[in-house]
A and B are shown apart, each in its own frame.
Chain A
Amino acid sequence: KAGVTQTPRYLIKTRGQQVTLSCSPISGHRSVSWYQQTPGQGLQFLFEYFSETQRNKGNFPGRFSGRQFSNSRSEMNVSTLELGDSALYLCASSIDGPNQPQHFGDGTRLSIL
């Protein structure tokens, strides 16, 4: 069974640009969550999608957004990039939601110059 796949693995952008990250969950998993990992703040919850709807949202500015498609694949978008957005972005999937073990992808390392 294929795991959670995130693309691309690495990305370099400059301030002010926007970026889209992609996540393909495990087959049969309908819940996709996104997390940001930085050395200072650790792993922080961004948002969760279920059946193409954002069901929960963490404490991040509106520049961070996402969507989920009918096949459960999800994308995350960050607009007007700032230096502080440099981080590892992790996607996790589970069958129905975060109250079950979530399976993580290997992440997208985003660097802002």
Chain B
Amino acid sequence: DQQVKQNSPSLSVQEGRISILNCDYTNSMFDYFLWYKKYPAEGPTFLISISSIKDKNEDGRFTVFLNKSAKHLSLHIVPSQPGDSAVYFCAAYGGGGGADGLTFGKGTHLIIQP
């Protein structure tokens, strides 16, 4: 049972435009959400996070939005740059049940077209 879902395996966006990556979750106990970026042959790199008490967090070109009622979060990248091409993982924490590590989605491969 996948508790964190990223339904788009890949996304292609033109350079300079906005990239929007989506993530849905099912466990209402999650209270902290993160986005990671991963290049091939490297470990995931932390991008941005949001606590469940907020609905928006910004850091430079990256903004994360959280809609708790819909159990949905999204990552906006504006403007998109070629170096943003990578796999993006959504992760959640706080699921309880004794397995309190991060629960990851399966990732979205973002491709920035020149």
Hey, which bits of chain A sit against chain B, CB under 8 A?
4, 6, 33, 35, 42-48, 55-59, 90, 92, 97-99, 101-107
Interface of B: prevailing SS: loop
Question: Given A43-B104, A90-B44, A104-B44 in contact, is the A99-B93 Cβ separation under 8 Å?
Answer: yes
Question: Given A33-B101, A33-B102, A58-B101 in contact, is the A101-B43 Cβ separation under 8 Å?
Answer: no
CA distance A81 to B29 in the complex (A): 34
CB neighbours of B98 from chain A (8 A): 56-57
CB neighbours of A48 from chain B (8 A): 100-101
**B89 in the interface (beta carbon within 8 A):** yes
**B34 in the interface (beta carbon within 8 A):** yes
CB neighbours of A102 from chain B (8 A): 46, 102
Can you report 25 residue pairs joining A to B where beta carbons are below 8 Å apart?
A4-B43, A33-B101, A42-B104, A43-B44, A43-B89, A43-B91, A45-B101, A45-B103, A48-B100, A55-B100, A56-B100, A58-B99, A58-B101, A98-B100, A98-B101, A98-B102, A99-B93, A99-B94, A102-B102, A103-B46, A104-B44, A105-B43, A106-B42, A106-B43, A107-B43
CA distance A80 to B3 in the complex (A): 30
Flag if B93 contacts A98 (CB, 8 Å). Answer: yes
**B49 in the interface (beta carbon within 8 A):** yes
Binary contact readout B93-114 vs A (1 if CB under 8 angstroms, 0 otherwise): 1100011111111110000000
CA distance A104 to B99 in the complex (A): 19
